[in-house]
Structure 1
Amino acid sequence: MGAIVTATSRNTDEPQFLLLRKAAYSGGLDFKHNWKNRKYFIGGNAISSHVLGSRESITNTQREISHLFQRADADYISVDKSRTSLTGTGGKIEAGKASEGHWRYNATLTWPSPELELNDIGFCVRGMKSSRFFM
């Protein structure tokens, strides 16, 4: 099992910094369990993020390529120009057979919410669209 919590805060009082997010917080938990001499495994993680900023910075965040709140196929979400924060969650559950024999297999369920923002703080080992994302 593991855990991480990260935070960043910026002084955005100057006009040239209005497009930057003022603060970002993220946290995550992960686990992995093996049995039968590491033949089988189950693992997963849960992550969350919270970013704060001016209306302009949060509007820009909603329109970024990693979120695309304005896209035509997303009838469940839209750009809200009055927002000053975003809170998102995500996670992954994975189980499978990792050794012995001719066959290896696994199944993975991954879910990021549209508001999950890890670009300010934290990191993605692989993109959010892949089956493996981490804090």
Structure 2
Amino acid sequence: MPGSFLAQPLNAARLVAYVALFLLGAVVGVAGALVQQGWFPGGLLLALAGAAGAFYGGSRATGTRAGALAPAGGWLAAVMLLTATRPEGDFVFGAGLGSYVFLLGGMGVAVMCATLWQRPQPGASDARLGK
């Protein structure tokens, strides 16, 4: 689709897709927070792979960069809410290396998937100018 995200008309289907991707990102963030420390180091790799799948899959499914930003926003919101301690002293993330790798690695994967953009390849007749 030509034009940037802001130049394209907003329709209900696209808005529903972005909300669904935001919720998917939140679910992936909560699941990753629980898995990453439970099965360390395999759980950490699984959590980061799940986040990367949600971010890149959202980008490919919608065909826009906003498709990667929507699940990344949900992931970030869920993870930031889980890092806050409660008045009772309970928290989900420990102070170990795995937690920091999950937080920073997930943010890095989100940035990579949001900035990765593949333009469509030219057709066979467009590739050769001499014809």
Name the structure with the higher strand share: 1
Name the structure with the higher helix share: 2
TM-score, scaled relative to structure 2: 0.29
TM-score, scaled relative to structure 1: 0.29
